[in-house]
Amino acid sequence: MSRAPFQPHRHLLRRAAAVAVAEVRARRHLEAAACVLHHGEPQHIERSVTSSYDAAAPEVSVAVSLYNYAPVVADTLRSIVASTGVSLEIIVVDDHSHDQGLAVVAEFMSAHPQVPIVLLAKSANEGLEQARNTAFAAARSEFVMVVDADNLLQPEGLGVLLAAARANPLAAGAYGRLQEFGDANGQRSAAPWNVDELCRRNYIDAQALVRRALWQRLGGYATYDDDVYGWEDWDLWLRIAADGGQMEFVDHVVGRYRVTGNSMLSLTNLAHDDSIEALRRRHPTLPWPA
């Protein structure tokens, strides 16, 4: 007879997760209310572009989600601009940061007018999944590359992923290896697409190239604040798998993933097992381990 793992503090983790989610939700309600007072609606987005943006015809849209990453976002943008072999646009969605991130991006745009960049600044925080949805909705190309504001691209990364995705028109997109830096030195997204393994763990990072039409058909990144918080990328991969699709794997380092001392101290870890059970319920046709 198999037994469930011994988890003496599970009830405490559940309570902590519930409190944390409630705090996030309350903050978002307050920001939405303030936005109504100032703009007459719960969300208002300020849009600014570089002089080259309107005339650009990008092959790839690079979606950068920004929330309180002022010290590092310029490095991220520089790594994207250094991409070779592909025409691109950059879509920065600021999810109502409370630091100087907006000013950093605006300064970068002023210094790089030749790069097609649009900055979408939200007046109320909505969360990472909605920031990515906002970027995808604004994208003008067939493919969208997701890059968080503290990570980096290798110069050849976009071109390699684009070639792989184009070579398989049935693929939902493409991903490649990510080299960790900072407080760790391993690799992520370092294995081919495998649905059985994907049901055991989320081994594919969000930093991947996705067909915009696929994102649209599946309804975008889902928001599950109550029981699956912070795993919007894993949920998207599972929905692709449940839809019979797959992502192409490129056995090449295409980017760099920043690891800091608090990278693992996140809300996603408080109710880990409960969140997995929720994913199983949402995707019952997948080959979950017994």
Mean pLDDT of 198-203: 95
The fraction of the chain above a pLDDT of 90, given in percent, is: 80
Tell me the pTM.
0.92
In this predicted structure, what is the pLDDT of residue 2? 39
In this predicted structure, what is the pLDDT of residue 171? 97
In this predicted structure, what is the pLDDT of residue 224? 62
For 93, counting Cβ atoms within 10 Å of its Cβ (0-12 exposed, 13-18 middle, 19+ buried), the class is buried
In this predicted structure, what is the pLDDT of residue 265? 45
In this predicted structure, what is the pLDDT of residue 243? 95
Asked if residue 136 lies in contact with residue 63, where contact means CB atoms within 8 angstroms, the answer is yes
Two structure tokens written together for 16: 């902590």
Give the tens place of pLDDT for each residue, 161-174.
999 999 999 999 99
In this predicted structure, what is the pLDDT of residue 11? 75
**Residue 241: pLDDT band with limits 50, 70, 90:** very high
Kindly tell me if the per-residue pLDDT of 5 is higher than 70.
no
Kindly tell me if the per-residue pLDDT of 214 is higher than 90.
yes
Mean pLDDT of 231-252: 96
Distance CA 248, CA 250 (A): 7
Mean pLDDT of 12-34: 84
Residue 280 identity: R
Please name each of the domains of the chain with its CATH number: 10-282 (3.90.550.10)
Kindly tell me if the per-residue pLDDT of 34 is higher than 80.
yes
Mean pLDDT of 91-115: 98
In this predicted structure, what is the pLDDT of residue 248? 98
In this predicted structure, what is the pLDDT of residue 227? 65
Classify 164 as helix, strand or coil.
Answer: helix
Mean pLDDT of 99-120: 98
DSSP run (H or E) holding 179 = strand 173-182
Biggest CA-to-CA distance, the chain:
67
In this predicted structure, what is the pLDDT of residue 179? 98
Tell me the backbone φ, ψ of residue 195, rounded to 5 degrees: -65, -40
Give the tens place of pLDDT for each residue, 247-276.
999 999 999 999 986 554 455 565 677 888
DSSP 3-31: -PPP-TTHHHHHHHHHHHHHHHHHHHHHH
Mean pLDDT of 205-232: 87
Give the tens place of pLDDT for each residue, 177-189.
999 999 889 999 9
Give the tens place of pLDDT for each residue, 118-152.
999 999 999 999 999 999 999 999 999 999 999 99
Give the tens place of pLDDT for each residue, 37-95.
999 999 999 999 999 999 999 999 999 999 999 999 999 999 999 999 999 999 999 99
In this predicted structure, what is the pLDDT of residue 268? 59
